[in-house]
Structure 1
Amino acid sequence: MKVLQFTIPVAHDKSVITDQVELPYHYPHLHRHTEAQLTWIQRGEGTLIAGNNMHAFTEGDIFYIGPNLPHLFKSNPEYFKSEEHRPVKALTVFFNPGGALSAVFALSEMRAISQYLEQHALGFKLPARNTTAIAAQMLAVREATGSKKLLTFLELMQGLISIGNKPEALSTHGKLPSMADNEGIRIGNIYNFIMQNYNGVITLDDVARAACMTSESFCRYFKKHTGHTFVSFLNEVRVNEACKRLTSHKFENVSEIAFKCGFKSITNFNRVFKSVTGNSPREYLDNYLNNINTLSQTA
């Protein structure tokens, strides 16, 4: 999917680029670039859209995003309120296996790393057990200069493949129809409209009007370019927000969460939640708490 073709805004005389940002909120547009990226969320919460799927992110998460995978880190609504000062902070390592580093990745000694990156071109979220070690290696890459930067980057790549082949892909669609930049902007605006209004009554006609299209044209357009129907995308947005609330430790009950996320009945919420996540809300929360307990015991 050709969306905003983003050029990494730093000197191109480097084969490995690190970018440390501290801003009011994350870059708010759906975009892609030829570089792969490894992003460590040091502060902030929100939703990552990668390809045709979405994932909650929070402080401490690390994501690998393959080259040319459309993505958007959308901060939670509170980050856009002027009266609240809640800046985000993130460290990203950019690199292009097919660009300046192509000769390095073509070496026989790099075959395992090259194959691993190819297998995970749709990106993945690092398991929590690996984030501390990878974050330390990312910091080492940021601090290194000259030839040592390349050496620490190779150590980072070795650390990345030590995770193994278990991470689930961020996106389930590797290839979506290409489209012009203005269409990519339109899709990004549609995403934003839905994500800003998911918790109220939002209809197909509402979104179609926001996109300046008829309902029939919008349905065909959205499905073709995202792999989603309007309803399936809206359900994923609502369930994604419900997952955040379930694990936020704010002690909201399930019914309250369901209604705050735009569902009109607890029965419908439970059905949609299980269809999206594979678990009931209670099972999802139990799995989350069990993972937390396991991590605390092994720390």
Structure 2
Amino acid sequence: MKVLQFTVPVPLDKTIIVQRDVLPYFYPHLHRHQEVQLTWIQQGEGTLVADNNMHAFRPSDIFWLGANQPHIFKSDPSYFAPRSRKKIMALVIFFNPDGNLSALFNLPEMKPLKNFVQQQQCGFKVPALQTPDISAQMLRIANSNGPEQLMHFVELLRLLSGCPDISPLAAVNKKVTVSDHDGIRIGNIYNYIMHNYEHPITLEDAASQVHMTPHAFCRFFKKHTLHTFVSFLNEVRINEACKKLTDGNYDNIATVAYTSGFNSITNFNRVFKSVTGKSPSEYLNSYFQHVEKTGQQQ
């Protein structure tokens, strides 16, 4: 099975594909497709891996993923637990600017929007202040057909192109080409790490998942992810720690450290600051100040 190259089913009478997902968890494999993808998380939480970067996702988040950008929305481990009654809900819009829509994008009036789409190959997260307008427009697209749907789609692109302070999901100048075979192996490694990050994981453990020697695994992993194994594992653990901190469901910061896979609070604090640029307490203060400011502006 080609884990990376994924084919989005395209109806013969559609150029804009709308998909409503209500599932126990998100599609659990690293994949890519020709279509640009806009995903509105309505229910569910976890980690988005886009190219070689990680981002926590929660309800109300909206993400743009570029054409052929490798990605996976990895639901939190609790969604995979036996007898779990959790479910995810998402509204997803796919479109291929180089397919049937190319005639639309080649119109002179569409040049600004075409340039915008071409500039977003590394994806982005819609800023929180713009999510109400963008999600409402996505609903208009989902609930319409024919010319009306196309007009709503153009308006969606116009709204997105006006979003300020867009930051790419992945490094702009570090796109990595991955074959299907290597993509399967990388997907297996990601899957293993993200299911076991809270436990001790050695280099040998990870290498055994893809039947490689530790030395060969280190070269392979760095070549295809631009991370060392340790730096990637640390980022996964810190990403999970950030989610635990901002959710507020913890006794103290030491509990967050140990349940995120760190064996000492000193090491946790050091790695946390190296990844986020802030100490855990500084990160929390910054997060809640941002939440308060966003709430006031809305």
TM-score (norm 2): 0.96
* Counterpart in the other structure of 1:296: 295
* Counterpart in the other structure of 1:196: 195
Count of equivalent residues: 296
Partner Cα distance (2:12, 2:256) in 1: 47
* Counterpart in the other structure of 2:66: 66
Superposed CA offset, 1:97-132 (max 9, x none)? 111111111222112212222222100111111111
Partner Cα distance (1:59, 1:24) in 2: 15
Choose 8-17 or 82-91, whichever is displaced more.
8-17
* Counterpart in the other structure of 2:177: 177
- After TM superposition, list the pairs within 5 Å mapping 1:124-203 onto structure 2: 124-164=124-164, 166-172=165-171, 174-179=174-179, 181-203=180-202
Determine helix, strand or coil for the equivalent of 2:247. Answer: coil
- Structure 2 residue identity aligned to 1:243: C
Kindly indicate whether the alpha-carbon contact (under 8 Å) linking 1:263 and 1:269 is maintained by their aligned counterparts in 2.
yes
Q: Does 1:26 align with 2:30?
A: no
Kindly indicate whether the alpha-carbon contact (under 8 Å) linking 2:66 and 2:121 is maintained by their aligned counterparts in 1.
yes
- Structure 2 residue identity aligned to 1:192: N
Partner Cα distance (2:155, 2:219) in 1: 46
- After TM superposition, list the pairs within 5 Å mapping 1:212-251 onto structure 2: 212-251=211-250
Taking a change above 3 Å as real, the CA distance of residues 105 and 283 of structure 1, as seen in their structure-2 partners, is same
Determine helix, strand or coil for the equivalent of 1:109. Answer: helix
* Counterpart in the other structure of 1:280: 279
* Counterpart in the other structure of 2:114: 114
Determine helix, strand or coil for the equivalent of 1:5. Answer: coil
Partner Cα distance (2:46, 2:8) in 1: 22
Kindly indicate whether the alpha-carbon contact (under 8 Å) linking 2:3 and 2:29 is maintained by their aligned counterparts in 1.
no
After the TM superposition, which parts of structure 1 deviate over 3 Å for at least 4 consecutive aligned residues? none
* Counterpart in the other structure of 1:83: 83
- Structure 1 residue identity aligned to 2:160: L
Deviation at residue 174 of structure 1 after TM alignment = 4.3
* Counterpart in the other structure of 2:264: 265
Kindly indicate whether the alpha-carbon contact (under 8 Å) linking 1:113 and 1:161 is maintained by their aligned counterparts in 2.
yes
| Structure 1: gaps (5+ residues) | none
Partner Cα distance (1:116, 1:272) in 2: 36
CA RMSD of aligned residues (A): 1.3
- Structure 2 residue identity aligned to 1:110: M
Determine helix, strand or coil for the equivalent of 1:31. Answer: coil
- Structure 1 residue identity aligned to 2:87: P
